[in-house]
Every structure is written in structure tokens, then in C-alpha cells.
Structure 1
Amino acid sequence: MKKIKMTVSGRVQGVGFRYMTKMVADQIGVSGIVRNEDDGSVYIEAVGPTDKIDAFIAAVKRSPSPSGKVDTCKLEEDANIENYISFRVTN
């Protein structure tokens, strides 16, 4: 299992980014959370098999929302992320 956290910046709030991210996560088969941050970025935690996490990361970097645009993506693996059951929008 691979566990990652990402902070995505750009045009990622107010464009359906979180809900489209959840849709992509559900299609690929990863679990985790996505939420807006006060600084305008979006924070994501995702858990799943390496190949599915890699596909999810690629989809997020392309922006799952057609009106969104990812400028930067800070990504790191974190073994302390909980084992989520599903993928949720938390705010």
C-alpha cells in the first residue's frame, strides 16, 4: 500500500475540483480525503496500491475539473496516513 499527501495550488477552488477529485479516486479505486485550505490550495490524502496511486496522482496533476488548472503540486509519501475505507470530501 502506498500512502501519499498532496497540496495542489492553482485554479483549484470554486471549480468543482474536490468533487471531481473524489470521482476520479472512486473510478481508480483509491481511498482518502480531499479538502480546501484557507490559502486557496487543495489538500489530498490518498491510500491504495502503488499503480492506482500513481494513476491518481497523474489525474490530479492534469486537473480532474475541466475548469481547474494545477500550477504546483507538493507531494510526499507518509506512512502515518490512516487506512481510509472510502474517498471523501471533508469540507
Structure 2
Amino acid sequence: MPEFTMSEKIYREEVHFTGRVQGVGFRYATLQVAKEFEVTGEVKNLPDGRVYLCAEGAEREVVAFREELEDRMSPFIRESEIKSDFRPSSYKSFEITR
């Protein structure tokens, strides 16, 4: 696997949301919030009842996006488990996936 310089890497957060996050429009709301920020990635329901979010972009944009989503969807979120790192970009847009 080739080595990447920091200039080729982008900030990425992977978040698992727990709570009443399925069947409440969570993925659609996430897509709408993503349009307000310069982020790419995906959001999807998981079989265990959680929602998975992966967002990439400038660190300040990704963090602001997640914080805005958590604020808007706070009645439904019990816990957010966040992992972040820098890696080559994996996405061209933001979308709901299965």
C-alpha cells in the first residue's frame, strides 16, 4: 500500500448513533444537514438498530456538521460513538446508503 502525505489525506469521522434513531427520519435529516456543510460521506441504518455515519472533509466542517446533526436530532440520540482519523478520501458526495 502506498504511503500518503498529509496533503493527500482528509479528515474523517465514523459515528455510530444509538437510541431511537431508526424510523424517525434520521438518515433523511442527516442528508439535509450535510447539504449545509462541505462534507462527503454516507449514512445508513445498521441491523442492530444503530445508525452509521461516515463524513469526510476539512476537520472544522466535519465536526460542525456532526455537532449540528447531534443538536437537531438530540431527542432521538442516546449515545454517539465517534472515531476520527486522516486518510485518503473515499467519497465524491454525501448519500444515504443501504
**TM above 0.5, one fold?**
yes
Quote the residue 2:4 is aligned against. none
Structure 1 unmatched ranges of 5 or more? none
- 1:85 lines up with 2:95 in the alignment: no
State how far apart, in whole Å, the 1-side matches of 2:22 and 2:88 are.
24
- 1:40 lines up with 2:40 in the alignment: no
- Among candidates 64, 69, 78, match of residue 76 of structure 2: 69
Structure 2 unmatched ranges of 5 or more? 1-9
Deviation at 1:63, TM superposition (A): 3.9
TM-score, normalised to structure 1's length? 0.86
* Shift >3 Å, 4+ stretches: 78-82
Q: Is contact 2:11-2:87 (8 Å) kept?
A: no
- Among candidates 61, 69, 79, match of residue 60 of structure 1: 69
Deviation at 1:54, TM superposition (A): 1.0
Give the SS at the match of 1:21. Answer: helix
Q: Is contact 1:3-1:81 (8 Å) kept?
A: no
Q: What residue identity is the alignment partner of 2:34? A: A
Q: Is contact 1:35-1:43 (8 Å) kept?
A: yes
Deviation at 1:28, TM superposition (A): 1.1
**Identity in percent:** 34
Alignment length (residue pairs): 89
